[in-house]
Structure 1
């Protein structure tokens, strides 16, 4: 069964089609949730919440856009909103933007993706989410603002602060490695 027919049948409430959708897309959506949640358990809960929202709003999906992108957006929004309920995010206002380059590119290139993701996960709440949405998921500040319920300028500031904090972490790692 092709994906369009599968989606159409799932919209009609066909439990077999819904199960096939769930089985097909859950691994991808789980990895999306893991990027925005602090633990595996939290990501599993966010994934379940996302699927509830997906199945409750399946009729609203318009076949003009990519189904996978629609699913990812729901998973991202659900994960972020879940975190916002769990943690109070202290928002700061400001407008300074850092350049999009990093002076010690050699260090960054030698790092494994897991190390970089671990550093991103250590960013304060709010900063990590904006960084992931902007850098990894390629959202615009306007979209990030809508998803997180913040202003575009706050999104820019959080991205700037996230970059600064990541740069400090990488510089500290470089200094630590130089002393070994």
Structure 2
């Protein structure tokens, strides 16, 4: 199916779009894998490198993407499709288009196979879109004092990054996990 996409940047935390963004993140990610709502709001208002997007498909709210535009690469922190829109090819088409928008590498975290019932499927899904595992030892920093570290893998659209994944992990931790954005 061919989707007509629209993407809207969320630039204010006091909008219906921001509420939808936070609600979908909370429904899609475990508490240990997401920021508290108040931190999202602060990022939306104050952090120019943080880019929260609302995805529309055929005029309907369909999902969200949040990424960090770092110096040499894009760190895609969250991708979530609304439950009622899943399994229709929307995520594949959207991520394929997203990959084509940047002249920078894209790096993101993913749960390793076996972590949850869906984690193996997610890794295979991303691999089918041309992403490769570049780091199997990555430990996601905590998002708050009431949360724990999570063992994740880093994936990228450039498999050559395997040899330098530590550099990317350090950049991600210094920017996206800055203590200023953790409660």
**When the two structures are superposed, what TM-score results if normalisation uses the length of structure 2?**
0.30
Greater C-alpha radius of gyration: 1
More strand by share: 2
